[in-house]
Amino acid sequence: VLELLEISLSELLHQSSGYAEHRTWRNSLLSIASDVAKGVAYLHFNNLLHRDLKPGNVLLADSWVAKVADFGSSAKGKPGSAAEGEGIHGTPPYMAPEVARGEAHSAALDVWSFGCLIVHMATLRPPYYGLKCKTAMDIVRVVRRGEVSPVQVLIDDAERRKYKCPASILALAKQCCQRDPKQRPDMPAIAGAIASPGIQNSILKGTRDMRPLVRLVRGGPRAAVASGGTIDASNITYEGRCECPSGAGAAACARFAPLHPRVQCVQVEVSQPFQAELRGGEHELFVGAWRSRPGAWRIAGLAVGRRLKHGLCRLV
């Protein structure tokens, strides 16, 4: 039995519905980059080269944990030595120059690909996008010459603010995409840099929106719930009123009939799942995004003393 991984990083970056607010370095991208760096560092520690690192080969679990996938192009090779076999492997926009030239290559090729990956994450554009190459071989020729950095093609200091790319991430990408493989940092160093206080503290400011990814992927009906209710920490059941969602049919309205007639119905968002008891003893699990603001809601046990802003509460 294999673990269910909801979507790929490529889907997160390029599917607009439900993902836009999560495509920020604070909410998800820094954590994803850190997971990928650690995963590739683990491969290198075990003398394996991935050789096809790209957004489509990074899969995301419901908890936003990123995992490197697709080892069809992988090869044995110690971090400081050439890989077994030469030739062109991988996907052209993420391919290191030495690979495009068919030369013997080392773990530094994955470092180059990682630099391309984080630039893609920052700009939502694949490497060399600005050159408007018509075919994959056009990109291979550009990469082979090594005259143009994928970082410089997509982003420079003047455009960094436009893409909302943190300066620390841009600097790391430039280090990864140096033409000389020997000048590139190794993956453990990259993973350590991402985990360093300098990068973490500069990006992870404020409240992060970390709704479980399954809700964004699978969608589902929305349910309005009432202010004035509380959550019992012992069984995590909602005490209050469940109102019929707007536009719902008669059957749905019966299902969301009020449990408590004295409270006024509003909509809320919460960061952790909790159950709401519906008519007839049925229970539904609600989950949403945390928004900190004084209001009428309080979660007992899960987030004691905190309050929730009016918003949406989604069914799981």
Model confidence over 148-173: pLDDT tens digits?
Answer: 888 877 666 556 556 677 888 888 99
Measured at the CA of 64, the angle between CA 303 and CA 26, to 5 degrees, comes to 75
Give the pLDDT band of residue 175 (cuts 50, 70, 90). very high
- Averaged over 67-77, what is the pLDDT? 86
Spatial CB neighbours of 292, under 8 Å, sequence gap ≥ 6? 207, 306, 307, 309
* pLDDT number for residue 111: 96
Yes or no: say if 268 and 313 are a contact pair by the CB < 8 Å rule. yes
pTM: 0.63
* pLDDT number for residue 87: 61
Q: What is the pLDDT of residues 101-135, one digit of tens each?
A: 888 888 999 999 999 999 899 888 888 887 778 78
Query: Residue 263 to residues 239, 277, 312: CA-CA distances in angstroms?
Result: 10, 15, 18
Please give the Cα distance from 134 to 82 (Å, whole number): 31
In the three-class reduction of DSSP (H, G, I as helix; E, B as strand; rest coil), residue 178 is classed as coil
* pLDDT number for residue 42: 92
**Residue matched to tokens 């044995």:** 76
* pLDDT number for residue 104: 81
Q: What is the pLDDT of residues 27-46, one digit of tens each?
A: 788 989 999 999 999 999 99
More reliable by pLDDT, 299 or 286: 286
Angle in degrees, 0-180, between the axes of helices 187-195 and 108-123, rounded to the nearest 10: 40
* pLDDT number for residue 36: 95
Please give the Cα distance from 130 to 149 (Å, whole number): 11
* pLDDT number for residue 234: 29
Q: Kindly list the domain boundaries of the chain, sorted by start residue.
A: 7-203, 220-315
Give the pLDDT band of residue 203 (cuts 50, 70, 90). confident
**CATH for 7-203, among 3.40.718.10, 1.10.510.10, 2.30.180.10, 1.10.40.30?**
1.10.510.10
Yes or no: say if 213 and 31 are a contact pair by the CB < 8 Å rule. no
